[in-house]
Chain A
């Protein structure tokens, strides 16, 4: 398996533009995390899906951010409109959470998307 695949790796956009980040999960995984990493705040959880259902979106900064899982293997994170303070590295990570909800499975991370909003 190629691992978690994120695209694009780098994105530079102007303030006010819409940005869409993409993530392909590892085959067979059913949990998906979106994180944002900045120098000031470190690694922040934005949203967590389990079996395509958003479980916890309390980390999503505001209504400008939205995330979807149109199918079991793919997710998008959209920012509309983008602002300079959204500049960060965005990671998605996937894991397998069995029906028994045991928690001993690790998350596998993609390489990240470095977003710069000018």
Chain B
């Protein structure tokens, strides 16, 4: 079975500061990893995904994430936060469980951006 741990339910940054949202996973098979963003009263929207190949993945809105197998991590970063980045972010892992695929989400991290 796979699981996802997001460190910090809330992260606060100033506009223009670096954004770092942490995600660690466990998976019995090579994982496929995703970051989603949820704006208020909206569904989840895909930011980026890691499947195979390059471990540094670039997504929409200037976000990127690096897959580090040795650390079982897939942290999300953005060099300079904008006010519009304020939202909840979810890390997810897709893997196999008892012969079928599942999509497991972390509990989410709320990103707060102050002027």
Contact = CB atoms under 8 A, between A and B. Distances in A.
15 contacts: A4-B43, A42-B108, A45-B104, A48-B103, A50-B100, A56-B97, A56-B102, A93-B43, A93-B44, A103-B32, A104-B49, A106-B34, A108-B46, A109-B36, A109-B44
Nearest to B93: A103
Interface string A59-95: 0000000000000000000000000000000010101
Given A103-B32, A104-B49, A104-B52, A42 B103 contact: no
Contacts of B45: 109
Interface in B6-41: 32, 34, 36
Size category of the binding interface on chain B: 20 to 34
Contacts, number: 57
Nearest to B47: A106
A78 to B, nearest CB: 21
B43 A101 contact: no
A74 B104 CA distance: 22
Given A56-B97, A97-B101, A43 B108 contact: yes
Interface of A: 4, 31, 33, 35, 42-43, 45, 48, 50, 55-56, 91, 93, 95, 97, 101, 103-104, 106-112
Contacts of A95: 103
Interface of B: 32, 34, 36, 42-46, 49, 51-52, 90, 94-97, 100-108
B34 A103 contact: no
A43 B105 contact: yes
A16 to B, nearest CB: 27
